[in-house]
Amino acid sequence: MKIGELAQQTGLTRSRIRFYEQIGLLKTVERRPNGYRTYPPQAVMILGLITTAQRAGFTLDEIRTLLPSDLTHWDHAALMEALTRKIADIEALQLRLPQSRAHLLRLIEDIQERPDDMDCAANAHRVLTNMLAEHPEALDVTAGDIRLLDTKDRRQSVSPGHRKKTASR
């Protein structure tokens, strides 16, 4: 299978597949006499695994150390440890999320509950002081190895699309 076909079957871009090879993540690739890459059908599964693991929160680096070049020879111990650790991360996050959510709700209420005799400025100061006085970690939506971030348009650009200058000024 040539790279174009593999790209089509996996839904990944050619550049991404070449990139994975470049960083040593995808090793099941040979060359035809003309220099073209050629992949075994297995490669579809490997790439599926990689993207699944990514969605589960593993970095490409972690995936590389876990993924055997031969799909049949896994390092059970390392794999189990990684999976277990990831579960622990999720559990830690599960504990924090309700707190963060409650804290945000409280913040909203706090802002809306402005006493009639208080002006905006004083109210703002009141709310801010309250907030910064709370546990500093109350709004912390991070847990161990895991962290919440903004994704923006990082998912699957289908059309090459119009680029967007972030224009930071």
- Contacts with its own copies by CB under 8 A lie at 22-24, 45, 48-49, 52-53, 55-59, 61-62, 71-74, 76, 79-80, 83-84, 86-87, 89-91, 93-94, 97-98, 100-101, 104-105, 107-108, 111, 120-121, 124-125, 128, 131-132, 136-137, 139-142, 145-152, 166-169
Determine, following the binding rule CB under 7 A, whether residue 65 of this chain makes contact with DNA: no
Scan for tokens 């847990």, then name that residue.
143
What's the CA dihedral at 53, 25, 150, 127 to 10 degrees? 80
Q: Which does 72 bind (CB under 5 to 8 A by kind): its own copies, DNA, none?
A: its own copies
144 touches 88 (CB < 8 A): yes
Neighbours of 15 (CB within 10 A): 11
- Give CA–CA dist 2/10, Å, rounded: 12
Taken in order 90, 91, 92, 97, is the CA torsion positive or negative?
positive
- Give CA–CA dist 141/96, Å, rounded: 7
Please select the residue that binds DNA; options are 42, 52, 54, 65, rule is CB under 7 A.
54
Q: Is the CB of 78 or the CB of 95 nearer to DNA?
A: 78
Q: Is the CB of 100 or the CB of 123 nearer to DNA?
A: 100
Contact set with DNA (CB under 7 A): 2-5, 7, 13-16, 18-19, 32-37, 54, 59-61, 150, 152, 157, 160-161, 163-166, 168
